[in-house]
């Protein structure tokens, strides 16, 4: 019989974890699916690890990985994937926003021969207006950058062993699971689900965190921002020719003193464009630096 591994990243989730353990165990057992649950404690500061340990002691199918500090959800997903021994591996949030019934349907699709089953959001659940707008903008940019439709993508997925191996072999340090699982290809299908409301606890995303995440992933998948530098350069070349001719004409007709305002404006504009351009290039260089440093995505301090 084939084994399903479920990877569940958890960061300060003490409020919801006991329920997650129970709900998932019940539903998977009822469906007759042989499974293991891998909880990755992403450096929580509350009782999350304690709860995972308790659960693991009563049920041998539950595994726990504890990070030495908070490395972020992406790292937690990868640690779980690396640890999973199933013939197929599902990734889902442990706050029960990804419905467990859908997990069973994903497994059935896998049994029919699909190698990547992507959960796509039919509705985004309850979110503030600001969050909705910023998430919308982020996903539009991401869709442009990656070339895959990211607007409804989620981290709720089920991958065949072959796909898991492929994802784990991608060498980049700055990983973005959502896009990588599309990038690898394989026989893929989608399954729609409604994002549930969080059972307990609060969302772990701050606005600043989301912006950082957006910028980092756009840079990871696209060199378009660098072409902005070239574009700005071309626009300035054209302006330079026009202004140059005008200046020469003024000089030849003998009234060259005027135009101080133009000089100041040009200095200011060119100065800012230059600095923005340097910043963009600098961002890419810092990414190259991080990749070259080759630090691990995460450090595990405890296992159970
Ligand atoms: N998470 C994590 N590390 C983090 C932040 C979040 O492992 O640094 C986990 C969290 O425990 C949850 C999942 O990622 O299982 C999604 O997080 P959350 O529910 O806060 O995000 P949202 O659903 O609001 O997008
Ligand atoms: Mg959530």
302: enclosing H helix or E strand: strand 300-303
> Predicted confidence band at 126 (pLDDT cuts at 50, 70, 90)?
low
Query: Per-residue pLDDT for 285 more than 80?
Result: yes
Quote the pLDDT of residue 243. 84
Quote the pLDDT of residue 7. 95
182: enclosing H helix or E strand: helix 177-183
- Spatial distance between the Cα atoms of 77 and 266, rounded to a whole number of angstroms: 49
Give the global pTM.
0.81
- N- to C-terminal Cα separation, the chain: 24
**Residues with beta carbon < 5 A to ion ligand 2?**
93, 95, 97
Supply 41's token pair: 């404690």
Task: Supply the DSSP symbol for 126.
Answer: S
> Predicted confidence band at 124 (pLDDT cuts at 50, 70, 90)?
low
Closest Cα to atom 19 of ligand 1:
203
- Spatial distance between the Cα atoms of 235 and 183, rounded to a whole number of angstroms: 35
Supply 295's token pair: 């630090």
Quote the pLDDT of residue 117. 93
Q: Which residue ranges make up each domain of the chain?
A: 3-206, 224-293
Percent of the chain with pLDDT over 70: 97
Tell which atom from ligand 1 comes closest to the C-alpha of 204.
Answer: 20
Contact 14, 48 (CB under 8 A): yes
Quote the pLDDT of residue 218. 81
**Sheet order of strands, 88-91 included:** 188-194, 116-123, 153-160, 88-91, 3-10, 34-41, 62-67, 300-303
> Predicted confidence band at 211 (pLDDT cuts at 50, 70, 90)?
confident
Closest Cα to atom 3 of ligand 1:
73
- Spatial distance between the Cα atoms of 232 and 275, rounded to a whole number of angstroms: 12
Neighbouring C-beta atoms of residue 24, cutoff 10 Å: 21
Supply 135's token pair: 């998430």
Averaged pLDDT of the chain:
86
Closest Cα to atom 13 of ligand 1:
93
Task: Supply the DSSP symbol for 244.
Answer: H
Ranked by mean pLDDT, which of 49-53, 151-155, 264-268 comes out on top?
Answer: 49-53
CATH homologous superfamily of 3-206: Spore Coat Polysaccharide Biosynthesis Protein SpsA; Chain A (3.90.550.10)
Tell which atom from ligand 1 comes closest to the C-alpha of 9.
Answer: 7
Supply 30's token pair: 């009822």
Quote the pLDDT of residue 138. 75
Task: Supply the DSSP symbol for 54.
Answer: H
- With a Cβ cut-off of 6 Å, ligand 1 is lined by 9-11, 13, 42, 70, 72-73, 76, 93-95, 97, 203-205
Supply 272's token pair: 């800012």
Quote the pLDDT of residue 107. 92
Ligand nearest the Cα atom of residue 79: 1
Quote the pLDDT of residue 247. 83
> Predicted confidence band at 96 (pLDDT cuts at 50, 70, 90)?
confident
User: What is the Å distance from ligand 1's center to 76 Cα?
Assistant: 10
Percent of the chain with pLDDT over 90: 28
């Amino acid at each position: 019989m084939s084994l399903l591994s479920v990877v569940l990243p958890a960061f300060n989730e003490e409020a919801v974890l006991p329920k997650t353990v129970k709900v998932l165990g019940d539903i998977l057992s009822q469906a007759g699916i042989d499974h293991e649950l891998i909880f990755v404690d992403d450096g929580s500061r509350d009782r999350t690890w304690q709860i995972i340990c308790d659960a693991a002691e009563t049920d041998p199918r539950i595994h726990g990985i504890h990070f030495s500090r908070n490395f972020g959800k992406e790292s937690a997903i990868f640690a779980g994937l690396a640890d999973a021994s199933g013939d197929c591996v599902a990734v889902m949030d442990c706050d029960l926003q990804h419905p467990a019934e859908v997990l069973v349907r994903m497994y059935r699709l896998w049994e029919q021969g699909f190698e990547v089953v992507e959960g796509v959001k039919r509705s985004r659940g309850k979110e503030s207006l600001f969050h909705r707008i910023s998430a919308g903008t982020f996903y539009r940019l991401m869709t442009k950058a990656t070339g895959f439709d990211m607007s409804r993508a989620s981290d709720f997925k089920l991958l065949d062993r072959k796909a898991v191996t492929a994802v784990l072999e991608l060498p980049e340090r700055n990983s973005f699971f959502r896009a990588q699982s599309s990038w690898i290809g394989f026989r893929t299908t989608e399954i729609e689900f409604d994002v549930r409301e969080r059972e307990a606890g609060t969302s772990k995303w701050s606005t600043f965190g989301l912006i950082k995440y957006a910028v980092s992933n756009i840079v990871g998948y696209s060199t378009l921002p660098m072409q902005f530098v070239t574009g700005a350069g071309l626009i300035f070349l054209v302006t330079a020719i026009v202004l140059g001719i005008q200046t020469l004409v003024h000089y030849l007709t003998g009234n060259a003193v005027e135009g101080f305002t133009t000089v100041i404006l040009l200095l200011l504009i060119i100065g800012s464009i230059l600095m923005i351009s340097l910043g963009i290039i600098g961002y890419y260089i810092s990414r190259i630096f991080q990749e070259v440093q080759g630090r691990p995505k995460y450090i595990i301090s405890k296992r159970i």
